[in-house]
Amino acid sequence: MLESFLVRAALAGVGVALAAGLLGCFVVWRRMAYFGDATAHASILGVALSLVFGLPVTLAILVVAGAVALLVFVLTDRSLAADTALGVLAHGALGLGLFAVALTPGPRVDMEAFLFGDVLTVGRGDLLLIWGGAVVVALVVWRNWGLLLISTLSPDLARAGGMDPRRASLLLALMLAGVVAVAIQVVGALLITALLIIPAAAARNLATTPERMAFAACAIGAGAALGGLGLAVAADAGVGPATVTVALGAFAVLTAAGRLRRG
């Protein structure tokens, strides 16, 4: 019989993978990979704030990641180019966060779990948070699918149809911040962007419609989460890096198969 902590780890990985798969498609379509980095790196600053003010880690990360998402939304709409604003915030937030953690009083904090994930320590409360977040993301995407998709394909077409593409961008930014906040235990701040991008990129080789790509990305992400957990246990390695390794293998296989099929 499987150990209970392995069952919790598997459920947590699948929950995060489903939310990341849905949003990852929009990250790939909109070329927002750097946005994922910015919010993920900002989560380390959230860890520092949780230590200083005694806040729950997830709440502190959610606040900081959400603030960074809003800041990126404002900056990229004003004077700075998107890649410049995201680059400054991504690397600046990571450096500031690590520096702030080093300055916090008390025992030295081991940052490895926050950087690379520690899904084996997930408890029942964490599972409720992860799956609650996944359900919220799925419902928001489902209810706003037309707005999100048309705004991604053509902001001008969205405006012509009476839609506000800025609202779509803000929704995506806030949902990505939420996924980062709950995913840090599973894959860590340095690897969450990989879980957003790689399954969605792999799904491109299977899907002929946006809806099918979204479902395929969720399935590939969930398979990578379960396969990564098994690989980590077998190899006595970190679950976060193992999950990304499995996802990368799926991307390589599906990309090669897609090219052979088209060739």
pLDDT at site 1 = 44
What is the model's pLDDT at position 3? 67
pLDDT of 154 reads 86
Q: Which of the pair, 155 or 34, is modelled with greater confidence?
A: 155
Question: Region 137-148: what's the mean pLDDT?
Answer: 92
Q: Which of 111-115, 178-182, 227-231 has the highest mean pLDDT?
A: 227-231
Residues 6+ apart with CB under 8 A from 110: none
Average pLDDT over residues 206-218: 91
pLDDT > 70 in the chain, percent: 93
Assess whether pLDDT exceeds 80 at residue 10: yes
Q: What is the pLDDT of residue 20?
A: 92
Chain position carrying tokens 């899904």: 119
Q: Higher confidence at residue 107 or residue 45?
A: 45
Average pLDDT over residues 87-108: 76
pLDDT at 126 over 80: yes
**Torsion sign, CA atoms 93, 222, 110, 231:** negative
pLDDT at 235 over 80: yes
Structural domains in the chain? Answer: 4-189 (1.10.3470.10)
Residues belonging to the chain:
263
- CA atoms within 13 A of residue 174's CA, in its CB half-sphere: 10
Give the pLDDT score at 251: 95
What is the mean predicted confidence (pLDDT) over 191-220?
Answer: 90
Percent of the chain with pLDDT over 90: 28
pLDDT greater at residue 37 or residue 26:
26
Distance between CA atoms of residues 110 and 90, nearest Å: 21
Give the C-alpha distances (Å, rounded to integers) separating 8 from 19, 34, 95, 137.
Answer: 17, 30, 32, 20
- Cα–Cα distance for residue pair 52/73, rounded to 1 Å: 27
**pLDDT at 71 exceeding the cut of 50:** yes
Q: What is the mean pLDDT of the chain?
A: 84
Tell me, what DSSP letter sits at residue 108?
P
pLDDT score of 181 more than 70: yes
pLDDT at position 108, please?
Answer: 67
Contact 187, 195 (CB under 8 A): yes
For the segment 78-97, what is each residue's pLDDT rounded down to a tens digit? 555 566 767 777 778 778 87
